[in-house]
Structure 1
Amino acid sequence: MTTLLPPTPPSPPSSTSPFPFTQNLIFNSSSSSTLTCKATNSSFQPHPTSNSSNPTSLITSKNPFSASPDNTLLTLLQQRKTDEAWLHYTKNLDQQLPNPTCLSRLVSQLSYQNSTISLRRAQSIIQRLRHERQLHRLDANSLGLLASAAAKGGHVLYAASIIKSMLKSGYLPHVKAWSSVVSRLASSGDDGPIESLGLFCAVTKRIRRLSNLDLVKHSRPDTAAYNAVLNACANLGDKNRFLELFSEMSEFDCEPDVLTYNVMIKLCARGDRKDLLVFVLERILEKGIPLCMSTFQSLVAAYVGFGDLVTAEKVVQAMREGRRDLCKMLREGNVEEVCLNDGDVFEKLLPNSVNWRDNEPPELSRVFEPNSRMYTTLMKGYMNAGRVTDMVRMLEAMRHLGDSESHPDHVTYTTVISAFVKQGLMDRAREVLAEMVRIGVPANRVTYNVLIKGYCQQLHIDRAEELIKEMIDTGIEPDVVSYNTIIDGCILVDDSAGALSYFNDMRARGIAPTKVSYTTLMKAFASSGQAKLANKVFDEMLKDPRVKVDLVAWNMLLDAYSKLGKVEEAKSVIERMKENGFYPNVATYGSLANGIALARKPGEALLLWNEIKQRCGMGNGEESTPSSGLLPPLEPDEGLLDTLADICVRAAFFRKALEIVACMEQHGIPPNKTKFTRIYVEMHSRMFTSKHASRARQDRRKERKRAAEAFKFWLGLPNSYYGSEWRLDSVIDDEYKSE
């Protein structure tokens, strides 16, 4: 029988780890971590560590230290013997806690090691202190280092919770600590960029409250911190917020650097302003900021993103020719007039774009040669455009270039492999991998993941499995993407047991599942009709502090029950969603409607329609908003309304059916009259035709008859409004024709 991992032994309250690297751990939300003291700022000073090759030797041999346990621990830490210090700490767990100096230094050195095991050890100290209400023993330096290490290790939500807890308790984290978390959040998916903006504002707001500059000098945002939060704005496409933060840089004596303007290139790309890309480059030159290759790479990537391969090729070719008039060339390529409206954000960000015709374009200070990353970016454009031949030709040309910086690297070869995989040419993709081995360009994890995905898409799961074994044999450990890909492949071949096996193997290897891991496994169980197991996976995801459960995950759980026609269980999921602050969307209602149709419970469809009707603005009351405690407005789609109308027509709920088709027409959705006509004829053509019904029964059916006649009128069938007997079309079977 397919089961999830066995339950683990219970842990003490509030002492669970947010770093669940094995399947034997269960966790609570990391956001519950709080500090209980008030402390001033501590400088961010990383302490290098030195690990003994045999960390147990100091413990098993005669202890050379005769001092107190705290002195022994401090001596080991001063000697940078972090592993021995950790073992000494664990040996005395049943004794009194070490002093604050020892604890802070131990957490700092463990964090600085930045390995899986060291992060788990540091977190176990946090667990104990939280459980014993002694978190005030740790200083800001140690907590900041732990936050930075956790962010670097991919545990971004936990790292953010540490910074928030520090602020809540009066700590001011070092700028290198909190800005590293802001940077990781800005580049993460889901609500990461929004969380990044919130964390940045929380820190700067606290700093502004303090007038003592000496107290906040190590926490004030620097240019790198602003670059991180501006990147969040660019990822969100929020140009107004970008301008606001860009303008306040001077408040903290921060000057924009070349990376700031590289992020601005991304903002122009997200804002669909290809015409302004050249003015970002000109602004950098006007301000005398030293250029770097990343600027040119960003430009080429932006033009490739716009699908303008011609301009991207011109940039690369101009650099190959040693031209310094790149700005002039790009201006001439701006066929469309640069358009800036009054109050345009870009007018303030790029004042040089306002009267650009009055100024000569600046030249580059020196010649820049294109490197392999620029060629590779252009090759990605060829791949996206399906120009595989051009991509292969560029690869051959790169091999013969005299500049070693332009020779193809593992990223270049991986791009070629991706192109072949996209075309379904797996044999040619494997040939490229073999060539990498032959010429000594090592493939990396991304290379193998691309190939694994290709085999899974072609349903060759056995070859994907062989590739994972090959990865391990070459010293490349699969990551969560590798496992997510093959788990999804198992779903494609309807192998839920295989999907679960890989999920458990991933956790056994200490690889933390992501939201994709959980939802993919839920999808496997849902598609195989195992809704209870999908629910169990969902519950584990709720407990995992690294994963932010979103509406997609809730809808997937709902869909698992709806596919089985389990309407009550599906409705229970919706109630849980609402309790957790999630509002059902069109996909939510669509899944429930399909479940109702499968279960043949038209009464449930009426209840569902009443809720949808209110959210579509068709109710008697005013439109509801989240702030009013009711559900927000909804924009229905064709699938949802058509399913509900189908249920109502089949159940002879013609008044409700007319309401639904009116809603469809109101939202520009053409109802399928042909389908509804056929349903009516096949199921209800002989309604109200009995001559033997009692008078009382006929009176009770008047309202339904009026609704039926109105529905026939909408369908275009003969009805009482026309006063004529209706005849069925010849396409209807003879048995339904009128006599």
Structure 2
Amino acid sequence: MNLKPPSSSPLTSNSNNPFPATHSSLTLHWVSSPHYPSSISSPTRLRLLATANPHTNPTSDLSLATTAAAAALPNEDQKLLTLLRQRKTEEAWTAYTQSTHLPNPTCLSRLLSQLSYQNSHSGLTRAQSIITRLRNERQLRHLDANSLGLLAVAAAKAGQTRYAASIVKSMLRSGFLPHVKAWSAVVSRLAATGDDRPALVADSRPDTAAFNAALNACANLGDTRRFLKLFDEMPEYGAEPDVLTYNVMIKLCARVGRKDLLVFVLERILDKGIALCMTTLNSLVAAYVGFGDLETAEQMVQAMREGRRDLCKILRDSNSNNSKSSLIDGDVFEKDSNSNNSKSSLIDGDVFEKLLPNSVRANDCEPPLLSKAYTCNSRIYTTLMKGYMNVGRVTDTVRMLEALRHQDNSSSHPDHVTYTTVISAFVKAGSMDRARRVLAEMTRVGVPANRITYNILLKGYCQQLQIDQAKELLREMADDAGIEPDVVSYNILIDGCILVDDSAGALGFFNEMRTRGLAPTKISYTTLMKAFALSGQPKLANKVFDEMLNDPRVKADLVAWNMLVEAYCRMGLVEEAKKIIQRIKDNGFHPDVATYGSLANGIALARKPGEALLLWNEVKERCRVKKEGETSDPSDPPTLKPDEGLLDTLADICVRAAFFKKALEIVACMEENGIPPNKTKFTKIYVEMHSRMFTSKHASQARQDRRIERKRAAEAFKFWLGLPNSYYGSEWRLEPIDGDE
């Protein structure tokens, strides 16, 4: 697609400095902390004077290439890496075959990934030749798990099941845990053929690391039952729980809201004689921050600063104080309320009694002491700072940064994560000038900002509608800091252009992103579609969507389809929108509330009440809950949970069109779903548009007979509104209504 912005809004692009994007590379994004409850007890002041160790960014070990490493590469490797970053796989293969030496691990992994991702016979053959060469030279250790997993998937899709299984088994022997997609591709093929399945299972006995990965998935889902099942299976395979296992258990407690059990996880680690790590202590601080209990988090940090070992006692005391506060505030469950939650709590309680048997007999023993005193590192301080940031305590965040900055030991000074947290706090508070001063301070003290830092600032400027400053920051990011913007940077800028109603600017950034060699993501396409949809250009939105469908690196999801429906509905083009919805169904998706909501708004704009009736019939059928024993077809769409916007729009259309029977059905659906109908609005519509309905004295008898049913529905609707009606006298009409005598 050759999309170009109008000449009136030219956007400069730097084509001489392309930034690579490969479909196979591992992209690490900054994930902001979740929103925590705002009901937090009065914070205590934390006196920060102790030293802290520098926090090493864990993502640095996962990056596929760094600027410093790239600078040290031989010329041939540098050329090969550049071609791979530009996704010129054919030229990269030629450079590889002509290389006089074995390329470095980064080049090999990326080349193998891109060849495997082609899903072609030639690409797979070339990828296999790389494996053969490395095996012969005993250099297979140069490849990473991502590239090997992609090769296994490609081989499985090509029908080479044995080869794919051998790759997976080789990964297991090397200590790599294959990605779930690699597992699925290989195991599904083995299940179909029956070949080699026992050998794969025999070589796949999980160790502690494998169990930890599975337990982590259960913790992320909050699945306590499955967590317990896996935890109980560990001894059967000779896998002993380690400190990471209990760190994951801390996450599980946080996920299911069991703050009272955090201390018992720590005590269980001490009881079993497992050596604590700083990650455990940071996980505890993060858990209390997540619960909004900054007071306990501060007490933990303060105790560590003072060299105390009685953290378990501090956490137990916190539990006692919270229990007393709950009783005082009346925060107790009644027998007949929240029965489902009570059952869930009982089930979780049974699970945790088995996971943490020490929690049952907690009152029978004194809380244990840590084996030694632990000193806070910058990671723990940063976690607490994020807690301050989330509740808007910007002053405390800055005060902590200042305290860390003035530590005697230079190794305990704040790192780029700490500074980025402070910048994020200022951005959240809308103080962009102070955020920029922190960025300047990072440069002054020699702490390099990274792409995440600049993306946070870019988002702040866009939220403040300061697009010009965002463009200037993008230039500084690339030219002065030497940090090339990534696809996230451009997605932020495209979204910022939407906020100022600049679809041409959004298109300009999209094209500039591709000029730099960055592959658009689903978010990129969908955001650009949103820009055209909001500016009333559905054909351009459709053109972007068509290109998204033709891009093999992305797969259109329901969000993208809905944006296309929204684009047409905003112009009242109902028929075109209905065709898109039919395509949604043909592609295996089911319209959701957003789809129907956009269509309802389009129908209201086009003033086609008949279409509203058809839409309501479909929505009503989707909202119907199947009765017990009623069989369901797997192809049936899932039950729909309507929202206020959809039902209110449909009710509005029906009331204006005098479809009172359908209007009553819709408001009944609203009340069933806990949505309060806007009676004031509907009363105003009725009085303005229908107050003199059925008052004609010259209508024929046949016409009057046809109006009986509509009249009965109108009276029922007036009764629901609380207006005078035939059910209890009328100040509009004192004489009896026909049929009431």
Structure 2 length normalisation: TM-score? Answer: 0.75
Counterpart check, 1:280 vs 2:249: no
Identify the residue that residue 567 of structure 1 maps to in structure 2.
574
Question: Structure 1 residues 592 and 626 mapped into 2: Cα distance closer, same or farther (>3 Å)?
Answer: farther
Identify the residue that residue 100 of structure 1 maps to in structure 2.
none
Identify the residue that residue 613 of structure 1 maps to in structure 2.
620
Q: How does 1:403-422 map to 2 (within 5 A)?
A: 403-422=409-428
Among candidates 696, 701, 704, match of residue 707 of structure 2? 701
Identify the residue that residue 723 of structure 2 maps to in structure 1.
717
1 CA distance for matches of 2:373 and 2:730?
87
Question: Structure 1 residues 173 and 271 mapped into 2: Cα distance closer, same or farther (>3 Å)?
Answer: farther
Q: Partner of 1:294: helix, strand, or coil?
A: helix
The letter of the residue matching 1:507 is R
Counterpart check, 1:169 vs 2:164: no
Aligned-residue RMSD, C-alpha: 4.5
2 CA distance for matches of 1:277 and 1:248?
23
Q: How does 1:104-119 map to 2 (within 5 A)?
A: 113=107, 119=113
1 CA distance for matches of 2:659 and 2:91?
76
Identify the residue that residue 120 of structure 2 maps to in structure 1.
127
**Kept after mapping to 1: 8 A contact 2:161/2:186:** no
Higher mean C-alpha deviation, range 690-699 or range 168-177? 168-177
Q: For residues 544-600 of structure 1, what are the alpha-carbon distances to aligned partners after superposition, in whole Å with 9 as ceiling and x for unaligned?
A: 455454333332222122111111222222222223333222222211111110111
1 CA distance for matches of 2:712 and 2:91?
87
Among candidates 299, 302, 305, match of residue 320 of structure 1? 305
Among candidates 242, 245, 250, match of residue 265 of structure 1? 250
Identify the residue that residue 439 of structure 1 maps to in structure 2.
445
Identify the residue that residue 528 of structure 2 maps to in structure 1.
521
Question: Structure 1 residues 146 and 218 mapped into 2: Cα distance closer, same or farther (>3 Å)?
Answer: same
**Kept after mapping to 1: 8 A contact 2:153/2:186:** no
Question: Structure 1 residues 441 and 540 mapped into 2: Cα distance closer, same or farther (>3 Å)?
Answer: same
Question: Structure 1 residues 397 and 284 mapped into 2: Cα distance closer, same or farther (>3 Å)?
Answer: same
The letter of the residue matching 1:716 is G
2 CA distance for matches of 1:180 and 1:169?
21
**Kept after mapping to 1: 8 A contact 2:112/2:130:** no
Identify the residue that residue 31 of structure 1 maps to in structure 2.
none
Counterpart check, 1:590 vs 2:590: no
**Kept after mapping to 2: 8 A contact 1:530/1:560:** yes
Q: For residues 169-211 of structure 1, what are the alpha-carbon distances to aligned partners after superposition, in whole Å with 9 as ceiling and x for unaligned?
A: 24144468479997877xxxxxxxxx799789979999x9979
Question: Structure 1 residues 253 and 21 mapped into 2: Cα distance closer, same or farther (>3 Å)?
Answer: farther
Identify the residue that residue 43 of structure 2 maps to in structure 1.
none
**Kept after mapping to 2: 8 A contact 1:324/1:367:** yes
2 CA distance for matches of 1:307 and 1:167?
52
Residue 86 (structure 1) shift: 3.8
**Kept after mapping to 1: 8 A contact 2:600/2:612:** yes
Q: How does 1:89-168 map to 2 (within 5 A)?
A: 113=107, 119-121=113-115, 123=117, 127-129=120-122, 149=144, 151=146, 161-162=153-154, 165=157
Q: For residues 343-367 of structure 1, what are the alpha-carbon distances to aligned partners after superposition, in whole Å with 9 as ceiling and x for unaligned?
A: 6222222222221222333322222
**Kept after mapping to 2: 8 A contact 1:2/1:497:** no
1 CA distance for matches of 2:703 and 2:475?
74
Q: How does 1:453-472 map to 2 (within 5 A)?
A: 453-472=459-478
2 CA distance for matches of 1:701 and 1:365?
86
Question: Structure 1 residues 526 and 544 mapped into 2: Cα distance closer, same or farther (>3 Å)?
Answer: same
| Bigger relative contact order, structure 1 or 2 (CA pairs below 8 A, ≥6 apart) | 2
Question: Structure 1 residues 85 and 515 mapped into 2: Cα distance closer, same or farther (>3 Å)?
Answer: closer
**Kept after mapping to 1: 8 A contact 2:191/2:197:** no
Q: How does 1:644-683 map to 2 (within 5 A)?
A: 644-683=650-689
Identify the residue that residue 377 of structure 1 maps to in structure 2.
383
Counterpart check, 1:449 vs 2:455: yes
Residue 513 (structure 1) shift: 2.6
Question: Structure 1 residues 504 and 236 mapped into 2: Cα distance closer, same or farther (>3 Å)?
Answer: farther
Identify the residue that residue 502 of structure 2 maps to in structure 1.
495
2 CA distance for matches of 1:205 and 1:275?
44
Q: Partner of 1:291: helix, strand, or coil?
A: coil
Identify the residue that residue 295 of structure 1 maps to in structure 2.
280
Among candidates 227, 235, 244, match of residue 229 of structure 2? 244
Residue 658 (structure 1) shift: 1.8
**Kept after mapping to 1: 8 A contact 2:533/2:541:** yes
Q: For residues 251-298 of structure 1, what are the alpha-carbon distances to aligned partners after superposition, in whole Å with 9 as ceiling and x for unaligned?
A: 433222222221221111111111111122222222222221111111
- Unmatched 5+ stretches in structure 2: 6-17, 25-69, 81-88, 325-341, 735-741
Identify the residue that residue 632 of structure 1 maps to in structure 2.
638
Higher mean C-alpha deviation, range 490-499 or range 573-582? 573-582
2 CA distance for matches of 1:518 and 1:671?
36
**Kept after mapping to 1: 8 A contact 2:190/2:197:** no
1 CA distance for matches of 2:79 and 2:650?
72
**Kept after mapping to 1: 8 A contact 2:115/2:123:** no
Q: For residues 16-45 of structure 1, what are the alpha-carbon distances to aligned partners after superposition, in whole Å with 9 as ceiling and x for unaligned?
A: xxxx9989x999xxxxxxxxxxxxxxxxxx
1 CA distance for matches of 2:632 and 2:155?
29
Question: Structure 1 residues 379 and 590 mapped into 2: Cα distance closer, same or farther (>3 Å)?
Answer: same
* Length, aligned pairs only: 640
The letter of the residue matching 1:280 is V
Identity of aligned residues (%): 65
1 CA distance for matches of 2:171 and 2:235?
21
2 CA distance for matches of 1:246 and 1:203?
29
Question: Structure 1 residues 719 and 382 mapped into 2: Cα distance closer, same or farther (>3 Å)?
Answer: closer
Question: Structure 1 residues 362 and 722 mapped into 2: Cα distance closer, same or farther (>3 Å)?
Answer: closer
Identify the residue that residue 557 of structure 2 maps to in structure 1.
550
2 CA distance for matches of 1:595 and 1:585?
16
Identify the residue that residue 65 of structure 1 maps to in structure 2.
none
Identify the residue that residue 15 of structure 2 maps to in structure 1.
none
**Kept after mapping to 2: 8 A contact 1:316/1:370:** yes
Identify the residue that residue 3 of structure 1 maps to in structure 2.
3
The letter of the residue matching 1:700 is R
Among candidates 480, 485, 489, match of residue 492 of structure 2? 485
Identify the residue that residue 53 of structure 1 maps to in structure 2.
75
2 CA distance for matches of 1:2 and 1:113?
32
2 CA distance for matches of 1:588 and 1:176?
46
- Unmatched 5+ stretches in structure 1: 6-19, 28-48, 59-81, 92-104, 186-194, 729-739
Question: Structure 1 residues 430 and 160 mapped into 2: Cα distance closer, same or farther (>3 Å)?
Answer: farther
Residue 305 (structure 1) shift: 0.9
Question: Structure 1 residues 353 and 525 mapped into 2: Cα distance closer, same or farther (>3 Å)?
Answer: same
Residue 373 (structure 1) shift: 0.9
Residue 696 (structure 1) shift: 2.8
Higher mean C-alpha deviation, range 645-654 or range 504-513? 504-513
Counterpart check, 1:352 vs 2:358: yes
Identify the residue that residue 315 of structure 2 maps to in structure 1.
330
The letter of the residue matching 1:643 is T
2 CA distance for matches of 1:617 and 1:374?
50
Question: Structure 1 residues 57 and 361 mapped into 2: Cα distance closer, same or farther (>3 Å)?
Answer: closer
Structure 1 length normalisation: TM-score? Answer: 0.76
Question: Structure 1 residues 222 and 678 mapped into 2: Cα distance closer, same or farther (>3 Å)?
Answer: same
Q: For residues 447-475 of structure 1, what are the alpha-carbon distances to aligned partners after superposition, in whole Å with 9 as ceiling and x for unaligned?
A: 11111111111111111111111111221
2 CA distance for matches of 1:289 and 1:163?
42
Q: For residues 215-254 of structure 1, what are the alpha-carbon distances to aligned partners after superposition, in whole Å with 9 as ceiling and x for unaligned?
A: 7676443332332232222222222222223333334332
1 CA distance for matches of 2:92 and 2:412?
48
2 CA distance for matches of 1:57 and 1:239?
50
The letter of the residue matching 1:129 is S
The letter of the residue matching 2:637 is L
Higher mean C-alpha deviation, range 651-660 or range 234-243? 234-243
